[in-house]
Amino acid sequence: MKGTVHYELRNNIALMTIDNPPVNPLSSGVRQGLSDGISQALADDNVQAIVLTGAGRAFIAGADISEFGGESTGPSLHDCLNSMDASSKPIVAAINGTAFGGGLEVALCCHYRVISPGAQVGLPEVKLGLLPGAGGTQRLPRLVGAAKALDFMLSGDGIPGPQAKELGIVDEVMDGDIVEAGISYAQQVVADGSKVRRIRDEDALLLPDRENPQVFDNARKQAARKMRKRFAPEMIVQCVEAAVNLGDFDAGMKVEAENFAQCLKHPQREALIHMFFAEREVAKIPDVPRDTTLKPIERAGVIGCGTMGGGISMSFLNVGIPVTVLELDQEALDRGIGIIKRNYDIQVQRGRMSAEQVDQRMGLLTGTTEYADLNTADVIIEAVYENIDVKVETFKKIEAVAKPGAILASNTSGLDVDKMADATSRPEDVIGLHFFSPANVMRLLEVVRGARTSKETIATSMQLGKRLNKIAVLSGNAPGFIGNRMLAGYTRQAGEIILQGATPYQVDNVLLQFGMPMGPFQMNDLVGLDLGWRARKLSGIKPEEVPITARVADKLCELERFGQKTNRGFYIYPEGSRAGTADPEVVEIVEQTSAELGITRTEISDEEVLKRCLYPLINEGARILEDGIAIRPCDIDIVYINGYGFPEVTGGPMFWADQQGLDNILADIKRFAETYGGDAWQPAPLLERLAAEGKGFASLQG
Ligand code: 3H9
């Protein structure tokens, strides 16, 4: 059994300390310990009250997530909670650290709660596709009212002790040793007559909500806005409705149990729990030990203050790391710094930052046009034009000024990091740090290891990602790394499909319905169709050599339809709007292009559109695994969800592929190869092997 609960007597108080490192989830041993401890305390006449606390940094992090979907042993959590709730001796929760999910629900079964100021409480189940299923949906509304309870459960965010007191979740915030504070609180309860306060018996705050169905309408609207396509939010709202309208606690608990069971068996729950563990797994690099020495990062240098350089600088400033940003001339520097300031000012207008915070962040920023000014930086990231010769020259300049041991990083989105390392005499310090645009917003950071990058440089870069509030994934050094290499097949298929019979609007719509934040053609309009068009013109490529999938975009550019920036691209954008409308003229251009290429247009089903766009991601993902570019399938899932908007509720492309069945995917790929030919549909050997063995990508996870 995993975990335990220590039991000791402190005069007339039984102190129970949950011990299941590192964060005390409610694993089988903890449930057993809770159950035994309560029985022991109730049977001992010397015990007048019980104090429950956690060892280490957490009170209880919730149910043991790794037990979901499998067999569980030991007493059920509900049995433990019922015996606590029914206890004739008062129980005080001394919340020393994180009390999340089932952990907070345990505290709500205690009769009183005291908390350290720095401890957090939260019901984050919704983020895992679940609902608070240990009485949380029934007890919290009784404690704080339906509206606040819904807000708390639908956001899933934690709040610190003082806010928990303000909301009414805890009785006292207590400084100092929280265990001592809990014991003296319990002694006071005993001195006051040992009153036992059971939340289940209270309904004063529920009654007004019975006349106010608006509370639930609002919650549903909030969920639809913030958690598109999620299953759990509606389940939570229904539970709170039951708490309010049924009045009877046990009847409400029945609804909670039914809805929890529905969440538990829903594919979203499995996918989101996969994401939870994947986010932690990607930090583990098999050949880079956890205790690898980290280089201190106290100051950053950024080369280039355009869109990427500016966003990267903001990422550092946002976490208090001073930045020196370099531009070629004063005008470009002033413009870039002006944009950073404007971006912060917008945050102030939206109420997300104060003017003082902006001043403080801007105070950490220094502009320069001299490479020599980068000589104090612990990490220097170049964000110059995406061309290997330009990058190599930049690395020579960086090397000349960087202090010994500084990390020399490139923000390239797919170029050869080793070539840049070769330009220096210290390849062990060179690494790729691929931020995604807008760099101050997007969570993904692809960390690209070169052939000679040192373990210290890798470990420090992964840690730096965490410090910048990003999720860092390690990639090998191969063209396009993980994300952009996979993307190539996706965009190519989208381009081919519209020439074969679909419209750009059908393709975008299919992907939107799947849960992507935008379709490939909306994405093209956002990025700007002119980028590729101009690059092709500059390269002197002949019109007949332009890839067929770029022909429509190039024709749109000839009409000065560059995308959102000119209010016209694949879509028409009313002035000032980012929501485009379909344009029959574009459909005509697409049809005309098909005719010019001699392609007969036929109807393509939505199902085929989806498969043809997504399967190249999976097939290429398999190759990336075979080549050792990504360490694990879950690393690819994290990249695609956090960098490319792949819907989180699917668990990422590789997890989703397993759920579809690799044999089914392989059969479709073979069918597409027969119908459409070309090398695009060559199945990856790994995909063939796993399908033949009846396995999924998860079998590689180790
Ligand atoms: C629930 O409670 C359902 C109930 O309502 C109803 C039941 C009937 N279980 O994040 P960290 C592991 S649902 C198992 O790096 P931090 C984690 O995988 C649950 N394992 O630390 C990692 O392992 P490893 C609702 C868990 O300090 C290690 O602990 N609760 C659990 O940055 C350290 O984690 C939640 O959703 C768990 N519950 O953050 C809370 N939690 O070292 C989920 C963590 O092998 N947890 N682990 O990679 C968290 O949000 C954060 O872990 C926490 C600590 C804030 C607690």
Closest C-alpha to 302, from 288, 317, 285: 317
Identify whether the C-beta of residue 434 lies closer than 8 Å to the C-beta of residue 413. yes
**Per-residue pLDDT at 410:** 97
Q: Give dist(CA 493, CA 395) in Å, integer.
A: 36
Half-sphere CA count of 237, side-chain side, radius 13 A: 19
Res 257: pLDDT:
97
Ligand 1 centroid to Cα of residue 62, in Å, is 7
In this structure, the dihedral spanned by the alpha carbons of residues 402, 405, 406 and 408, taken in order and rounded to 10 degrees, is 90
pLDDT of residue 302: 98
pLDDT one-digit tens code per residue, 189-232:
999 999 999 999 999 999 999 989 999 999 999 999 888 889 99
Mean pLDDT of 585-600: 96
Instruction: Locate CATH 1.10.1040.50 in the chain.
Output: 502-596, 606-700
User: 3-state class of 196 per DSSP?
Assistant: coil
User: For 151-177, what is each residue's pLDDT tens digit?
Assistant: 999 999 999 999 999 999 999 999 999
Nearest CA to ligand 1 atom 19: 62
Q: Does domain 502-596 have CATH number 1.10.1040.50?
A: yes
The 3-state secondary structure of 346-391 reads HHHHCCCCCHHHHHHHHHCEEEECCHHHHCCCCEEEECCCCCHHHH
Instruction: Please give the angle made by the CA atoms of 116, 120 and 121, to the nearest 5 degrees.
Output: 115
Q: State the DSSP code for 133.
A: T
Which residue out of 26, 64, 65, 462 has the highest number of ligand 1 atoms within 8 Å of its CB and is therefore the one to mutate?
65
Distance in angstroms (rounded) separating the CA atoms of residues 410 and 402: 14
- When pLDDT is cut at 50, 70 and 90, the band that residue 540 belongs to is confident
Give the count of beta carbons closer than 10 Å to the beta carbon of residue 121: 25
**Residue type, position 327, single letter:** E
Alpha carbon of 597 to those of 125, 489, 506, 540, 594: distances in Å? 53, 21, 21, 21, 5
Q: What is the DSSP letter of 176?
A: S
How far are the Cα atoms of 8, 426, 451, 540 from residue 89, in angstroms, in the given order? 16, 67, 64, 84
Q: Report the alpha-carbon distance of residue 44 to residue 57 in Å, rounded.
A: 30
Backbone phi, then psi, for 19, in 5-degree steps? -135, 100
Over residues 140-160, the mean pLDDT reads 97
For ligand 1, is residue 64 a contact (CB within 6 Å)?
yes
Query: Given this model, what pLDDT does residue 543 score?
Result: 81
**Ligand 1 contact via 21 beta carbon (within 6 Å):** no
pLDDT in the model for residue 153: 98
Of the pLDDT bands very low, low, confident and very high (cuts 50, 70, 90), residue 71 is confident
Beta bridge partners of 60: 99
The confidence score (pLDDT) of residue 541 equals 87
Ligand 1: centre distance to CA 23 (Å): 7
Q: How many angstroms is it from 649 CA to the middle of ligand 1?
A: 18
Catalytic sites, residue numbers? 105, 125
DSSP classification of residue 14: E
The answer to whether the CB of 119 falls within 8 A of the CB of 177 is no
Residue 227 to residue 154: CA distance in whole angstroms: 9
For residue 77, which atom of ligand 1 is closest to its CA? 8
At 353, list the tokens: 């930052």
The span from the CA of 104 to the CA of 81, in Å, is: 12
- Report whether residue 130 contacts ligand 1, using a CB cutoff of 6 Å: yes
3-state secondary structure of 323: strand
Distance CA 259, CA 273 (A): 18
Q: What is the pLDDT of residues 378-436, one digit of tens each?
A: 999 999 988 999 999 999 999 999 999 999 999 999 999 999 999 999 999 999 999 99
Q: Are 104 and 123 in contact (CB under 8 A)?
A: yes
Kindly report, as residue ranges, where domains of CATH 3.90.226.10 are found in the chain.
4-265
Say if residue 497's pLDDT is above 90: yes
Query: For residue 21, what are its two tokens?
Result: 């490192």
- Closest atom of ligand 1 to 131 CA is 5
Query: What average pLDDT does the segment 447-457 reach?
Result: 98
Q: Where in the chain is the domain with CATH 3.40.50.720?
A: 300-477
Instruction: Report the separation in Å between the CA atom of 148 and the middle of ligand 1, taken as the mean of its atom positions.
Output: 24
> Which atom of ligand 1 lies closest to the CA of 63?
2
Inform me whether the pLDDT recorded for 314 exceeds 90.
yes
pLDDT of the residue at 211: 87
Does the beta carbon of 23 sit less than 6 angstroms from any atom of ligand 1? Answer: yes
Two tokens, residue 530: 């002119």
Give pLDDT tens digits for 612-638. Answer: 999 999 999 999 999 999 999 999 999
pLDDT of 41 strictly over 80 = yes
Strands (E), 383-496: 407-410, 430-435, 444-449, 471-475
Determine contact, residues 649/129, Cβ cutoff 8 Å: yes
Does the structure show a pLDDT above 80 at 72?
no
Residue 286 pLDDT exceeds 90: yes
CATH class of 606-700: mainly alpha
Q: Cβ(133) to ligand 1 under 6 A?
A: yes
Beta bridge partners of 435: 445
pLDDT range class, residue 701, cuts 50, 70, 90: confident
Would you say 146 and 206 are in contact if contact means Cβ atoms under 8 Å apart?
yes
Interaxial angle between packed helices 483-500 and 584-596, expressed in degrees from 0 to 180 and rounded to the nearest 10: 90
Share of the chain above pLDDT 70, in %: 100
- Give me 31's structure tokens: 């449930």
| Minimum-distance ligand 1 atom for the alpha carbon of 102 | 2
pLDDT > 90: what percent of the chain? 91
Q: Is the dihedral of CA 69, 75, 80, 82 positive or negative?
A: positive
Is the pLDDT score of 70 beyond 90?
Answer: no
Answer whether 255's CB lies under 8 Å from 631's CB. no
Q: How confident is the model at residue 678 (pLDDT cuts 50, 70, 90)?
A: confident
How is domain 300-477 classified at the CATH fold level? Rossmann fold (3.40.50)
pLDDT score for 680: 86
| CATH class, 4-265 region | alpha beta
d(CA 672, CA 382): 41
Q: How far is the CA of 102 from the centre of ligand 1 (A)?
A: 11
- Cis before residue 438, ω within 30 degrees of 0? yes
Phi/psi at 566 (5° precision)? -115, 15
Compute the mean pLDDT over every residue in the chain, rounded to the nearest whole number.
Answer: 95
What DSSP character marks residue 578?
-
The stretches of 266-329 forming alpha helices (DSSP H) are 267-281, 307-318
